[in-house]
Structure formats: structure tokens, C-alpha cells
């Protein structure tokens, strides 16, 4: 697969953009004219920069308002084109993008446009150049790739072809299967972009809200399937207009772009087994069966505080690592690891970020295959030299510098706990809390990291994304995106904080970046769990009495149920599938907390309760910033 990206898609100066595009592994770039015009150097310098980075200049764009103009504007348009041809030859590129006219002077007419392009093709051919015509979905007379193709067909010139852009086709609801009728040699380049499904002005939607394939809601895969069915084997290029991307890290956005193309083409290859798709084979997205463990990095003081919190939740310390300062706490199918080593990744994480849940282990069918796919998608492998006799688990670096381990049912890994941990007798004999498994894990990040995180997970794991939700915090909005698989083996809530005044923003400040802010643990009888935890000394989050008054009215709940909910500090929600109960710990100084949930057929995550929970947690925070500590009972 030959990949390209338009310089308009990322931030920075032109040299910074070129360097980021090359570092991400693209084969070429589209040079947006404004990037050249604002660069303080000549065309020869740009040509050398591109070549020195091992890239090809695939397209010079855009050339606007060309076709069907009256005289003298028509001649002026040809004169402009000749000037741009001069520049293209200096830049060493052979393709210019001409987008459909939005000029109020344009007369329209397919034959008139075809005649203009035939003449432009003659001029381009004399220089060994080509012109690609693109239908803007808000074009004055041409806003559909089918009309653009008819103009190119009637122009009947080898130097005139089509530029097909997924956004312009899909945003207007045009069936991409109509592309199959276009000869592959008349498709000069493919541009790809996704976008959230929003009903709004097409121009504004296109100029501000495009994103990488897989980050939005458009059927980009169906578009690419139709393109591949023609036999097209040219460049697949990204043209992304996004305000957030143009203000973010060029390296991160370019890396996301390459990952999105690799994932997209791999999926198309799987969906079209009989069609040649330019994508290298790699393992399929991994099905996650569950969270095998969550690992905390801490020092002895914070490990003791976390241990007290876990005991109050009904956990027992069940193991001590054979060769490391690592403890294992267990309850049901839940494994919590507390690492107080003075070397290695856990210690580095603690030094940099304080006590935190820095690693997670996921149960997959084939750990090595999952690692192979992750690396093919641009993830960074994580490998720490194990102590003699320890099991080496495949792992990658995750969001915010975290670590994700892959645990399968191989002969070695199935004996992970028995092999590496010595059983210990816990002197703290508090009651089991009836907690069964990890229901979901919540990761908090800055808002501009949300799409990156979404793409990271959806390209690697067999998951779906739910509609994004705005969570109201007294300090501002938090955008929440859930990804999950059908079996519930992996449920992640990704929460993007827009400012530091929210609880999520406070967590990011304390942790110095993205990380796991809370872990939700499941119970099959939350009332029994709440009673057992109370006996253990667990202090639940205090919820406002006003919440329960409203709850009774909103759901017409029996008074006795409302009373029991209030006495246990439980939150309640209901959807078409069933009921949902939530119990929260108080947030620690850094904003980390535990959640206990019971699902009675319910499919959601209690988003309606988030404002009440957040307000209560912010009230529970100490008035003065204290040294970092995890939740205490």
C-alpha cells in the first residue's frame, strides 16, 4: 500500500510537517499550497527537503475555481494554471488537484467543463503533468463524483483524471458502489477522511470536523472497498481538516494517520477476500475475554494505604512474588498487583507519576499474535528483562506511558500466578465483598488525546464504540467515549478533560498525564456487598439526599427501595434492558477511586449519574492538597 497525507492535516511549519510525515512511515505527501506560500524558502529547497526524508510529493493542491468561466476570467484561469505548472516542475511533482468551482461566475454545463479540462489536459501533457478533478460536496455546479466522472470521461484526455475523496462522497450520502464503474486508470489519487455523523453545513463540517478513518462514523470502509474493486493500486492519501489536529502534535497526528490507514486496509482485505487489496497480512483484531490483572506502582507507604483500601473492599493478600517486591490481592476473578520494586518500569512510573495503576493485563486467545498486530499498527513493544525463572509476557506501551500485557492460555501463561507467586496467609480476615470480576476500566486523558486513544484500541481489539457522551462536572464538561466488545470481556470508558478544574482534570494534573482513574468491580448482589463492605470499614461516597428525592420521582421507585438505596449510598439507573446499581469509594487526593456495580440486564455505564457522583467526589476532596495517596476506606 502506498500512503500519503496532506500537509494541511497536521500542525507546524513545513519542515516540521515533512519530518513528522516521514517519521510516521508515509510514502508521500500532498503539498497544500498555503504551506508552501508561508514557507521562507524556494521550491528547490522544498523539493530537497521532501527527497531527503525519503518521501515523494504526490499532489500539489488545490487549484480552485477553474472550469466553465466566462471570458476574460477563463483565460486568466488558464494563465494561473500555467504558473502553477511551472511551480510543480520546480517541486518535482506531476499531479495537480483541481476542485470543482464555487465561483459565482461559473456558468456550469458538463460539456463546457469537459472542453475546459480537455484544453487543460493538452497544456499539462506538454509538460508531462496530470490534473485530477475533485467534486467538492458544496461545489456550485458539480458536487457529486458521478458528475465529475462524466466531465472527465467527456474530456477524454490521458492527462485528466479523477480525485476521489471519501468525505465528499459519504457526507452527501452518495452510494460509494457507483465508484466501481470508473476505470482504474482514470482515478489519479484517493483521499480519505472520516467524520462524526452530524447534520450541519457541509463546508463547515468538512473544514473543521474531519478525522482519521475509524475515528468517525462515515462508511469509509465501504468507500475503499468500491475503490479496490476497480483494481486501483495508487496512493491512498489522508486529507484531514480538523481544528484540534492543527493545534496538536504533528508527530502524534501523523502517527495516528498511518495507523488508521493500516487498520482500514487490513479490514478491507478481510471484507473482500477475492479482490486484490494493497495491504500486508497481519493477525486479526484480538478478542479480549477479560481483564486478567491491574498492576499498581507504589512505595511502601502508599502500598500500605492501597492494601487497607483493598481489604476494606473484601480483598485478601494471597501471594508474594518469588523474586520481587510485588504483592497479589484477590477476590473472585479479580487480580490486583501492587509493585513496590525499586527498579524497573514500575519504579520509573512511580517516580514520574506517583502511586498509580500503571499496567493492565488482558486475556486474549493468542498473546504473540496480538503483539504482532500491535507492532504492525505502530505500537511500541515493551520488554523488561525478567528475573531468572519469571515468565516473559508480550506487552506494549499503552496510553499515557502505561503498559498493556497480553495473557493467553498457553502452557506458560496459564500457570502465571502459581509459577511466580508464593501463597501467603493474610492476617487481615475481613469479610469477602462478593466482588466477582472487573466490569470496566476508566482512563482519563486530555481532550485532544481522546481520538488517538479511540483509534489505538479499536484498531487493535475487536470492540465497538458507543456514542460519545458529554458528562457535566461543576468545573466544566468531560467527553466520555465507551468502547466494548459483545461479550463484555473488555469495557473501557475513555474520558477527555477539557480543563483542569474538573475532577478528571485534577486527576491529570496529579498524575502528570493520562492514566487509569477508576476501576469498576462487579457484584451480583450489591446490597449484600454494600453491607459487607460497611462491616469492613469501607466509607462510601456520600450522595446528596436531593438525588434520592429526584430518583423516586423520576423512576417511580417503591419507597422501600429508595430508602435502601439511600442508606447504602447506592446510585441507580435504568434503561430498556434492565437496572443498574453503583457504589463508589471516595476519591483519593489524586482523584483515583473504585466503583462497584451490579448489572441486571443493563447495557450502559450510568452516565446519567455522573454529575451527581462527580459533585459528591469533589465535595469529599480535602481542602488542602496532600501528598498523593490512593483511595483509603
> To 5 degrees, how large is the angle CA 164–CA 167–CA 169?
60
CB atoms < 10 A from the CB of 299, how many? 14
Strand partners, 598: 581
Percent of the chain with pLDDT over 90: 87
Asked if residue 418 belongs to a known ligand binding site, the reply is no
Question: Contact at 8 Å (CB) between 1 and 261?
Answer: yes
Numbered ranges of CATH 3.10.180.10 in the chain: 290-423, 435-620
Task: For 165, list phi and psi in degrees, rounded to 5.
Answer: -120, 125
Residue 411's pLDDT is what?
67
pLDDT in tens, 73-132: 999 999 999 999 999 999 999 999 999 999 999 999 999 999 999 999 999 999 999 999
Percent of the chain with pLDDT over 70: 98
What band does 629 get if pLDDT is binned at 50, 70 and 90?
very low
Q: CA nearest 463: which of 250, 263, 329?
A: 263
pLDDT in tens, 271-281: 988 888 888 89
> To 5 degrees, how large is the angle CA 73–CA 75–CA 81?
105
What band does 2 get if pLDDT is binned at 50, 70 and 90?
very high
Residue 624's pLDDT is what?
45
Give CA–CA dist 212/497, Å, rounded: 21
Is pLDDT of 625 > 60? Answer: no
Whole-Å CA distances, 557 to 315, 531, 551, 563: 33, 21, 8, 10
What band does 623 get if pLDDT is binned at 50, 70 and 90?
low
Asked if residue 165 belongs to a known ligand binding site, the reply is yes
Residue 205's pLDDT is what?
94
What band does 499 get if pLDDT is binned at 50, 70 and 90?
confident
Mean pLDDT of the chain: 94
Radius of gyration of the CA atoms of the chain, in A: 28
DSSP state of 342: S
Query: Average of pLDDT values for 434-459?
Result: 96
What band does 512 get if pLDDT is binned at 50, 70 and 90?
confident
Whole-Å CA distances, 116 to 88, 109, 130, 572: 20, 11, 14, 66
Question: Contact at 8 Å (CB) between 338 and 355?
Answer: no
Residue 386's pLDDT is what?
79
Highest CATH level, class, for 2-271: alpha beta
pLDDT in tens, 387-402: 777 888 999 999 888 9
Question: Contact at 8 Å (CB) between 443 and 517?
Answer: yes
Domain made up of 435-620: CATH architecture: Roll (3.10)
Residue 79 makes CB contacts below 8 A (sequence gap 6+) with none
Query: Average of pLDDT values for 519-524?
Result: 98
Asked if residue 440 belongs to a known ligand binding site, the reply is yes
Question: Contact at 8 Å (CB) between 630 and 298?
Answer: yes
Residue 630's pLDDT is what?
46
Residue 633's pLDDT is what?
43
Asked if residue 122 belongs to a known ligand binding site, the reply is no
Asked if residue 73 belongs to a known ligand binding site, the reply is no
Query: Average of pLDDT values for 2-9?
Result: 97
Give CA–CA dist 616/542, Å, rounded: 6
Query: Average of pLDDT values for 313-318?
Result: 97
Numbered ranges of CATH 3.20.20.150 in the chain: 2-271
Is pLDDT of 628 > 80? Answer: no
CATH superfamily of 290-423: 2,3-Dihydroxybiphenyl 1,2-Dioxygenase, domain 1 (3.10.180.10)
Is pLDDT of 70 > 90? Answer: yes
Asked if residue 199 belongs to a known ligand binding site, the reply is no
Q: CA nearest 355: which of 533, 527, 591?
A: 591
Is pLDDT of 153 > 80? Answer: yes
Asked if residue 383 belongs to a known ligand binding site, the reply is no
Amino acid at each position: 500500500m502506498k500512503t500519503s497525507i496532506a500537509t494541511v492535516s497536521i500542525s507546524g511549519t513545513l519542515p516540521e510537517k515533512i519530518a513528522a510525515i516521514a517519521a510516521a512511515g508515509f510514502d508521500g505527501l500532498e503539498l497544500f499550497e498555503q504551506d508552501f506560500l508561508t514557507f521562507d524558502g524556494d521550491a528547490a529547497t522544498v523539493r530537497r527537503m521532501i527527497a531527503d526524508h525519503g518521501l515523494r510529493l504526490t499532489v500539489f493542491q488545490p487549484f480552485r475555481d477553474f472550469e466553465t468561466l466566462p471570458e476574460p476570467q477563463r483565460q486568466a484561469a488558464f494563465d494561473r494554471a500555467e504558473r502553477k505548472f511551472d511551480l510543480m516542475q520546480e517541486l518535482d511533482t506531476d499531479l495537480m488537484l483541481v476542485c470543482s468551482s464555487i465561483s459565482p461566475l461559473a456558468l456550469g454545463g458538463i460539456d463546457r467543463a469537459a472542453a475546459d479540462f480537455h484544453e487543460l489536459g493538452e497544456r499539462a501533457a506538454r509538460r508531462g503533468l496530470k490534473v485530477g478533478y475533485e467534486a467538492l460536496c458544496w461545489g456550485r455546479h458539480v458536487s457529486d463524483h458521478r458528475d465529475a466522472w462524466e466531465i472527465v470521461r467527456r474530456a477524454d484526455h490521458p492527462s485528466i483524471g479523477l480525485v476521489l475523496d471519501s468525505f465528499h462522497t459519504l457526507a452527501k450520502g452518495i452510494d460509494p458502489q457507483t465508484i466501481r464503474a470508473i476505470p482504474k486508470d482514470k482515478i489519479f489519487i484517493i483521499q480519505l477522511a472520516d467524520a462524526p455523523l452530524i447534520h450541519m453545513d457541509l463546508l463547515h463540517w468538512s473544514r473543521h470536523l474531519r478525522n482519521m478513518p475509524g475515528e468517525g462514523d462515515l462508511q469509509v470502509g465501504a468507500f475503499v472497498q468500491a475503490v479496490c474493486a476497480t483494481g486501483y493500486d495508487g496512493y491512498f492519501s489522508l486529507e484531514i481538516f480538523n481544528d484540534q489536529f492543527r493545534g496538536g502534535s504533528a508527530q502524534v497526528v501523523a502517527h495516528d494517520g498511518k495507523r488508521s490507514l493500516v487498520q482500514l486496509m487490513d479490514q478491507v482485505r478481510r471484507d473482500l477476500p477475492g479482490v486484490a487489496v494493497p495491504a500486508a497480512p497481519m493477525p486479526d483484531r484480538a478478542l479480549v475475554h477479560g481483564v486478567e490483572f491491574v498492576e499498581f506502582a507504589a512505595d511502601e507507604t502508599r502500598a500500605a494505604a492501597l492494601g487497607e483500601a483493598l481489604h476494606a473492599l473484601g480483598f485478601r493478600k494471597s501471594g508474594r512474588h518469588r523474586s520481587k517486591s510485588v504483592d497479589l490481592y484477590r477476590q473472585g476473578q479479580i487480580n490486583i498487583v501492587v509493585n513496590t520494586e525499586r527498579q524497573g518500569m514500575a519504579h520509573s512510573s512511580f517516580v514520574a507519576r506517583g502511586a498509580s495503576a500503571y499496567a493492565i493485563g488482558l486475556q486474549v486467545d493468542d498473546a504473540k499474535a496480538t503483539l504482532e498486530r500491535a507492532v504492525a499498527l505502530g505500537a511500541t513493544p515493551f520488554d523488561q528483562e525478567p528475573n531468572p525463572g519469571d515468565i516473559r509476557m508480550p506487552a506494549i506501551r499503552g496510553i499515557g506511558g502505561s503498559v498493556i500485557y497480553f495473557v493467553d492460555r498457553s502452557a506458560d501463561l496459564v500457570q502465571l500466578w502459581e509459577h511466580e507467586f508464593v501463597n501467603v496467609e493474610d492476617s487481615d480476615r475481613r469479610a469477602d465483598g462478593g466482588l466477582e470480576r472487573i466490569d470496566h476500566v476508566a482512563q482519563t486523558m486530555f481532550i485532544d488525546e481522546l481520538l488517538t486513544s479511540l483509534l489505538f484500541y479499536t484498531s487493535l481489539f475487536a470492540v465497538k464504540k458507543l456514542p460519545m457522551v458529554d458528562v457535566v462536572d461543576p468545573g466544566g464538561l468531560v467527553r466520555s467515549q465507551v468502547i466494548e466488545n459483545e461479550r463484555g470481556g473488555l469495557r473501557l470508558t475513555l474520558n477527555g478533560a477539557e480543563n483542569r478544574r474538573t475532577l478528571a482534570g485534577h486527576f491529570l494534573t496529579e498524575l502528570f498525564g493520562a492514566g487509569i482513574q477508576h476501576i469498576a468491580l462487579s457484584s451480583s448482589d450489591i446490597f449484600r456487598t454494600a453491607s459487607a463492605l460497611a462491616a469492613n470499614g469501607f466509607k462510601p461516597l456520600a450522595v446528596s439526599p436531593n438525588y434520592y428525592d429526584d430518583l423516586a420521582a423520576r423512576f417511580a421507585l417503591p419507597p422501600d427501595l429508595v430508602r435502601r438505596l439511600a442508606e447504602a449510598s447506592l446510585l441507580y439507573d435504568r434503561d430498556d434492558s434492565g437496572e443498574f446499581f453503583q457504589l463508589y469509594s471516595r476519591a483519593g487526593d489524586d482523584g483515583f477511586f473504585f466503583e462497584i456495580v451490579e448489572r441486571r440486564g443493563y447495557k450502559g455505564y450510568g452516565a446519567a449519574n455522573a454529575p451527581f457522583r462527580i459533585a459528591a467526589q469533589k465535595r469529599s476532596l480535602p481542602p488542602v492538597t496532600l501528598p498523593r495517596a490512593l483511595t483509603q476506606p
